[in-house]
Amino acid sequence: MSEDLKQFSILRSEALKRIDSSKVFLVGSGKGGVGKSIVSSLVALELASRGTKVGLLDADVHGSSVPTILGVNKVISVGRMGFHPIEFESVKIMSLGLITEDEVVPLRGERKSGVIAWLLSMTNWGDLDYLVVDLPPGTGDEVLSTLRLTDGLVRRSLAVSTPSAVAIRVARKYVSLMREEKVDVIGVINMAYSLDGTSSLFGEAEDLGVSKVFRLPIDPGVEEFIRGVRSWRDLSSDMLKGVREIVDELISI
Amino acid sequence: MSLHEWAVADAIVSSLVNFCSSRGASRILKVEIVYGEAMEYNLEVLRDAVEYLSKGTPLEGAEIVFKEEKSIFRCNACGAKWDIAEAERLINRALKVEEEGEGFESPLHFIPELASSLMRCPKCGSPDVEMVEGDSVRVSKVVMG
């Protein structure tokens, strides 16, 4: 019999081989701008600070933010086993943004799937305990491709939203997709309350449709962290406590 | 020595071994591997790597044919098409990936989907361009025993 193998299948085999020992945490949302990349980065940093081996894949092809958040701008290099991820506080980072920097990346659906497949399968992750994937908002190509590329691995997802009814309602669609894909989802309501406890920016969050929800505060220190003038370890105690609780829950599987 | 070809060869061999196993076949008799010219693979290195990594797998001893496909680029705005020579002339972005011992290489060597980040249409200047042929690596034929 004669058959064929498309590029995506070839890269999927390699991706699964390279991260087969890793648990995968998919960080998604409905809307953009809700703090997904911040949550991904802080979760990865917290995991690494506990002595685990962590990879962080930025799967947001058009809106890559992880390099900016972590302040990494090194040139990606390649060896015999593929791309060398950039390390930041022991987190191994791979992002298209490290290659394209500020250039616009106009890509249609299938091409985006190809980019994610190359990034995941050709990165020399080494042995990972956890791979955190920062997904773009919504339920499009990059999200579906990441699901296919990690099929069969132990996976959980974080659905990130602000308390805004608009963000919550769209985030529910992401939650539904993950459920249909048999991926357990926990919720994160970012920017849920002010640090002095006096106000909530949007009022109480509506039901995200998940059993466990964690709340993170509006912490001005986050922007200082992004601008490189504050360490993530010096964020507010509320923020750090929230991130620790999220990680405790994630690794309980 | 081109290094990236080893990682690509590893992916090809892994996928073929999985494919063979999923079909319940014991060995592969022949494969045809097709890749786009824009990926600029060093064929000698790719062939050696695939053969080396096949040892001890159902792919060992198979006839392995490599075919390089012409890469064609297209503008989705005006329909213009151009070839790799024109594409190389058009590349006006400094996107670079460093291959150890090889210096800097075009990202098309590693992620061919990035054509649109590297060039604009030579006819109308649109950024909505893509590689429409010779844009991937695939196995076009697998014959199992």
pLDDT attached to residue A7: 94
> Tens digit of pLDDT for each residue in A79-106?
888 899 999 999 999 999 998 888 888 8
Set of chain A residues whose Cβ sits within 8 Å of the Cβ of B16: 5
- Residue A30: give the domain boundaries: 3-252
B80 reaches A (C-beta below 8 A): no
Q: Is the pLDDT of residue B91 over 90?
A: no
User: Which chain A residue has its CA at the smallest distance from B106's CA?
Assistant: A99
Check CB contact under 8 Å for A77 and B99.
yes
B130 in contact with A at a CB cutoff of 8 Å? yes
Using 50, 70 and 90 to split pLDDT, how confident is the model at B95?
Answer: low
- How close A114 gets to chain B, by Cα (Å)? 7
What is the C-alpha separation between A148 and A120, in angstroms, rounded? 12
Classified as helix, coil or strand, A153 is: coil
| Helical spans, DSSP H, in A83-209 | 97-100, 109-121, 141-149, 165-180
Interface residue of B8, B102, B113, B117 to substitute, partner A, most A CBs within 10 Å: B113
CATH number at residue A65: 3.40.50.300
Both tokens assigned to B1: 């020595």
- As a whole number of angstroms, the distance between CA A112 and CA A213 comes to 31
**ipTM for the complex shown:** 0.91
pLDDT of residue B3: 76
Evaluate if residue B96 carries a pLDDT over 90.
no
Q: How far is B31 from chain A (nearest CA, A)?
A: 9
Interface size A-B, in CB pairs within 8 Å, comes to 128
Q: How far is A41 from chain B (nearest CA, A)?
A: 24
Token output for B73: 């680029």
CA distances from A22 to A183, B7, B114 (A): 15, 20, 28
CB atoms within 10 A of CB A237: 10
Query: Which residues of chain A are modeled with pLDDT < 70?
Result: 1-2, 199, 201-204
What's the pLDDT at A109? 87
**Domains, in order of start, for chain B:** 3-69+134-144 (3.30.2320.50), 72-133 (no CATH)
| CB spacing of A78 vs B3 below 8 angstroms | yes
B127 in reach of chain A (CB within 8 A):
yes
Subunit contact A3:B142, Cβ cutoff 8 A: yes
Which residues from chain A sit within 8 angstroms of residue B19, using beta carbons? Answer: 3, 5, 9
Q: Which pLDDT score, from 0 to 100, does residue A23 have?
A: 97
What is the SS3 assignment for A82-109?
A: EEECEEECCEEEEECHHHHCCCCCCCCH
Identify the residue with better confidence: B116 or A58. A58
- Residues within 8 A of B (CB atoms), A 74-113 only: 75-83, 96, 99-101, 103-108, 111-112
- In this complex, the residue of B16, B113, B142 whose CB is nearest that of residue A114 is B113
pLDDT of the residue at A201: 67
CA distance A78 to B38: 18
For residue B48, pLDDT over 80 is answered with: yes
Q: What is the pLDDT of residue A233?
A: 96
- Count of domains observed in chain A: 1
Subunit contact A106:B96, Cβ cutoff 8 A: no
- Give the pLDDT of residue B123: 97
The nearest alpha carbon in chain B to A8 belongs to: B138
8 Å CB contact of B127 and A104: yes
